[in-house]
Amino acid sequence: MPKLEDLIELALAAGREIMAVRAAGFDTQTKLDGSPVTLADQRAEAVIESGLAKLAPGVPMIGEEAVEDGRIPECGARFFCVDPLDGTRGFAKGGDEFTVNIALIEHGEAIMGVIYAPATGELYAGDPGHAVKAQCDIATATLATPLTPIQAAPRPAQWRLVASELSGRNPETEDFRTSVNAGALVHASSSIKFCRVAEGAADLYPRFGNVSEWDAAAGHAILSAAGGGIIRLDGSPLRYGTNPGDFLVRGFVAYSNEDAKAAALKALR
């Protein structure tokens, strides 16, 4: 099996592809579900798929673009879950909030994950009991600072919420914020929201709306390594690959600690 450092290197390589496409210019197409896709998505996923095949021969990969193309392998007890470019909509508009997400799933649990933001150089990674972050050189997509341990925050005086820039501006999210008596809501795009909870900058990340498993898996692994976790809106743990062919997550709440989880469960009742 690959080590966390192997997945970090693969995420950085995918980031180089994305930034090369951005520098050269690209067109945006629309997939059947109405979401955008670019050459950067496709090239980044190709780099990741090829790299994982060498690192872990025979372990299947569930990738966003592969699934769109109808290439859906049997997940089995162990598989990789990949979003090569999370935040394509913002990327296509010239924004900087997009990430490369790579996760390893074992028996339904996200146990290893990497999130890399090529335009800002932020890198987060985690495996059991070991969550880290680093700053990367944007031009070369190489580590510019050492990997530094991170940990989700203990209970604060008032809960701090982060939510999606688009889907987080809805009545359900505002009702949740009110129910947990949280402060002002901070909005962000892409999977960096999970990292904000993992590094102690936020305590809860509610998502009322559908996402795909590859949108959450890497962040889930990092957050779990930092002491937090994710529950579905019915309070059950979020697991992966349990519904063959259906990779939709119908909402969730990411939390920093058991107190935050309890507050989320109370608000969801």
Q: Name the stretches of the chain with pLDDT < 70.
A: 32-34
pTM here is 0.95
Span 132-181, pLDDT tens digits = 999 999 999 999 999 999 999 999 999 999 999 878 889 999 999 999 99
Q: Which residues contact 268 (CB under 8 A, 6 or more apart)?
A: 176, 233, 234, 235, 253
Question: What pLDDT score was predicted for residue 259?
Answer: 98
Where in the chain are the domains?
A: 4-149, 162-268
Question: What pLDDT score was predicted for residue 93?
Answer: 87
Question: What pLDDT score was predicted for residue 187?
Answer: 87
User: For domain 162-268, which CATH number applies: 3.40.190.80, 3.30.70.1290, 2.40.50.140, 1.20.1250.20?
Assistant: 3.40.190.80
The CATH homologous superfamily for domain 4-149 is: Fructose-1,6-Bisphosphatase, subunit A, domain 1 (3.30.540.10)
Question: What pLDDT score was predicted for residue 32?
Answer: 60
